[in-house]
Amino acid sequence: MGFNVRVYGLLINDKSQVLICDELIHGRPITKFPGGGLEFGEGTVDALKREMMEETRTEVVVTEHFYTTDFFQVSAFNPESQVISIYYLIQSKSYLQIETSGKPFDFSEAVEGAISFRWLNLSDLNEDVFTFPIDKKVAGLLAARYGRKRN
């Protein structure tokens, strides 16, 4: 029994789109927000900055805490581990150093650990796009905060 602390970045561009990533993890196609696991000795903000550098080769600034898991969620990969995910709104310090695609799972090669990125319009954000329950919840919160058109 244990905890798995995860940190994720919500990067919203000037076109009101949020960055998401598609990955192959343990042979499974996964759609999620960019980020990953906290390493021993790290704070959550430093972990997110490291994860974003690893995944996107881009330095980011954390601008706001957005959400922390407030319900029990068992890990999809370890039934004896509880996941606690922390989401932050972030901004890139420079031009994003990755290619994005409009197509899900647009890998150059479909191998373990493959990753591709795409932008989703906040106005079209749909919880069903995401694989994991916590990401689905955050997608709903993002849509409520940013995606709904106001009259």
For 115-126, the pLDDT digits (tens) are 999 999 999 899
Q: What are the Cα distances from residue 86, in Å, to 21, 39, 66, 73?
A: 17, 14, 8, 13
Determine contact, residues 100/86, Cβ cutoff 8 Å.
no
Top CATH class of 2-97+110-147 equals: alpha beta
Per-residue pLDDT at 138 exceeds 70? yes
Average pLDDT over residues 66-90: 96
Asked whether residue 151 carries a pLDDT value surpassing 80, the answer given is no
Cα Rg of the chain, angstroms: 15
Q: Name the band, by pLDDT with cuts 50, 70 and 90, for residue 150.
A: very low
What is the mean predicted confidence (pLDDT) over 10-21? 96
Distance CA 38, CA 107 (A): 26
pTM for this predicted structure: 0.93
CA angle 117, 79, 4 (to 5 degrees): 55
What pLDDT, on a 0 to 100 scale, did the predictor assign at position 111?
86
Out of 31-45, 76-90, 91-105, which region has the weakest mean confidence (pLDDT)? 91-105
pLDDT of residue 148: 58
Of 20-24, 47-51, 94-98, the least confident: 94-98
Average pLDDT over the chain reads: 93
Q: Do residues 66 and 138 lie in contact, with contact meaning Cβ atoms separated by under 8 Å?
A: yes
> For 100-117, b where at least 16 C-beta lie within 10 A, e where not — what string?
eeeeebebeeeeeebbbb
Give the per-residue pLDDT at 6: 98
Mean pLDDT of 49-74: 96
